[in-house]
Amino acid sequence: MRPVMSPGPDSQAGPAGTWQGCRMAIDPRFYRLARRVSAGELAGVLEAGLRGRAEAVIADFSQPQHSDETMLTYVGDAAQLDGAGPAGIVITTAELAELAEQMTTAAAVLSVDNPRLAFARAVGLCLADDALPDSRALPGDAPQIDQSAVIAPSAVIGARAVIGARTVVGANCVIGSGVKISDDCSIGDNCTLSHCELDDGCNLQAGVVLGAPGFGFEITGHAPVMIPHIGILRLGRNVCVGANSAIDRGSLGDTVIGDFVMIDNLVHIAHNCEIGDHCVIAGQVGIAGSTVLEAGVMIGGQAGIGDHLTIGKGAVILARSGVTKDVPAGAKMVGFPASEAGQYWRDQAVMRQVLRQRKAAGKKSHPKV
């Protein structure tokens, strides 16, 4: 699977039809730094402990594994430090502060009780979403629409949106600011697209929602707090998305759909998922956040896939299965919790045999009078 548009110089193709290392920094088409905040100022706002240089300034945001000296990141547990790169400012716990400083060579480390919640507050303090309707409008922000594109009169096209050659946009669609739709795409009626880009030949049926924020939140003592989603959604070539399906944009990093993926009606794909080339996903499937489907995976209707899982290349998930752990390449899974299909059917046969034997034994012990 290749990235939809230009992924940046540090991107590289990943194994088994997935795309690893897509742009982790904020995308200037959709977001901008509203103000530059120093580590010292941020520590005051967050009531955080501070190690290192108070004058270090946030220029971008990232995950620890994709960070550099200009970026703010957060570390909630030691496992997140595996493979961590350099960082500008790291938000973490007091217990991990020294280790984070050593492993990321951070300019400044802020220690708090809840790093993820503190990171969300920092994003809100620093970042503006230029794709929102009330965001600033600048000269030259008009959308770029190819002369051969067909746009329904009732469609709304946002500032800086790009619509390619021979693309058709249906009635009552809303194409958000900065969205890029490439050539030969078909956008059905009543679709809503934001914070996303589509490669050539994509086909969206009516009512599709692409690029909405995901269901990411942090529980506090008062109420759940939504976590900002500052990634985007990328669709590869010739992706088909069925009616009333929804694919969320990434929280940190991107949600990525590969080439020639078929998605049925009423499917939900959560934030930061990676769907490999040639996958087929039937109706009413739900895929939780940060799960990877490698190339050629097939998922039957009403199946549910848990978060942070990897479904191996060519695996088949049968209808109404519930997947709670990684699935090896080529496996066929069924049931809840999903297990290997051959073993599942053998177990079912044994259970039926046991039930028949118990039923027969009950009749013998209670003969008719």
| Helices within the chain (DSSP H only) | 39-46, 97-104, 115-126, 341-365
- Dist. CA 183–CA 163, nearest whole Å: 7
CA distances from 276 to 212, 262, 320 (A): 21, 11, 21
Handedness of CA 34, 40, 41, 44 (dihedral sign): positive
Which residues are designated catalytic?
Answer: 271
Coil, strand or helix at 267: coil
Handedness of CA 165, 167, 172, 176 (dihedral sign): negative
pLDDT in tens, the chain (369 residues): 333 333 333 333 333 222 233 334 688 899 888 888 999 999 999 999 999 999 998 888 877 666 666 788 888 888 777 766 677 899 999 998 888 888 778 889 999 999 999 998 999 888 887 766 544 555 568 999 999 999 999 999 999 999 999 999 999 999 999 999 999 999 999 999 999 999 999 999 999 999 999 998 888 877 888 888 999 999 999 999 999 999 999 988 899 999 999 999 999 999 999 999 999 999 999 999 999 999 999 999 999 999 999 999 999 999 999 999 999 999 999 999 999 988 888 888 888 888 888 888 876 666 665
- Which pLDDT value is given to residue 98? 86
The answer to whether 146 touches 168, Cβ cutoff 8 Å, is no
Residue with tokens 């990897």: 310
The answer to whether 189 touches 208, Cβ cutoff 8 Å, is no
- Cα Rg of the chain (Å, integer): 24
And the tokens for 181?
Answer: 């739709």
pTM (predicted TM-score): 0.85
The answer to whether 254 touches 233, Cβ cutoff 8 Å, is yes
Domains, the chain: 31-129 (3.40.1390.10), 144-337 (2.160.10.10)
- Which pLDDT value is given to residue 63? 72
Q: What angle do CA 88, 110, 10 make, to 5 degrees?
A: 25
- Which pLDDT value is given to residue 186? 98
